[in-house]
Structure 1
């Protein structure tokens, strides 16, 4: 795996952000850890909302959060995205957790998710002063389970999201 750096969203990556979005849409995949990306009409709109969401709730949908890009240093390309929620509301405590993340399909199975999460946990501890992080994933998402476990995740329980007929696993990581 090549070196990654986590960076806040910025216009410098506008085209690549939308390339990332289009890859997920083309593959009909969930855009975990991307915040407002699916509904954004332009890179500027996405970046503006994401940066505003660091200091206040936007659209009443989510808690304050930090949106980060996982950039491969060798070519300055986005390989993943990660959203760190600053605190948990009732929904996030039950189903969503502190961190959502994804890796574009063309870059999977290279260790990027593990490195994204490792760096995000450092951000949680050092910048946001979060001591205990909740992560969740679908119970059939073996890649995410492996990633969470690699960073010290301890499963607490499973919960059913009835509307989606989906079982979510809830993991805690002590920092």
Structure 2
């Protein structure tokens, strides 16, 4: 059954395959400023080792804690993985509050679906499942952004009740009710 899960070592093998898919599409390059890109650059050399992967999943879970170390300008965020049994399909991160930069372009919620699992409704279902989690974090309406030319992501947001507020640069900004 497909569901949101805290990051877990139980999907280690599938996660590695998913990251290889992302990398084959250029993710993780110096120009990639996404969550997945940054984590590929930082952690991929040690992901294949079970102990290091467990450390990585613990680090992701700890990012939700106010007191955990974070880079300057980062806020607590809850990362959840979209899994089907031991199959890693994607990830979603819920930022607990907005900084001025996140209010402009990043938003409360960011998500990625592994390339081989796209076009099957996973992103729509993943966002739908994450909205009640955002609600429990005190977010009544979540800001979710996407690039102007990312039609698939725009449809995901709109299918979850997203209302377009405006466009800022290359980003469209939507507010999505969480309850």
TM-score normalised by L of structure 2:
0.83
Partner of 1:12: 10
The answer to whether the 8 Å contact 2:18/2:115 transfers is no
Provide the rounded CA distance (Å) in 1 between the counterparts of 2:19 and 2:88: 11
Q: List structure 1 segments (4+ residues) > 3 angstroms apart after TM superposition.
A: 29-36
RMSD after superposition: 2.0
Partner of 1:79: 89
Alignment equivalent of 1:131, drawn from 117, 120, 140: 140
1:54 aligns with 2:60: no
Unaligned stretches of 5+ residues in structure 1: 161-166
Partner of 2:173: 170
Deviations 1:28-84 (A, max 9, x none): 2468554852221432342132122111342335211111110124xx301111111
Alignment equivalent of 1:37, drawn from 36, 39, 59: 39
* Cα distance, 1:123 vs structure 2: 1.1
Unaligned stretches of 5+ residues in structure 2: 48-52
The answer to whether the 8 Å contact 1:100/1:135 transfers is yes
The verdict on how the C-alpha distance between 1:20 and 1:79 changes in structure 2, with shifts beyond 3 A counting, is same
Q: In proportion to residue count, which structure has more helix?
A: 2
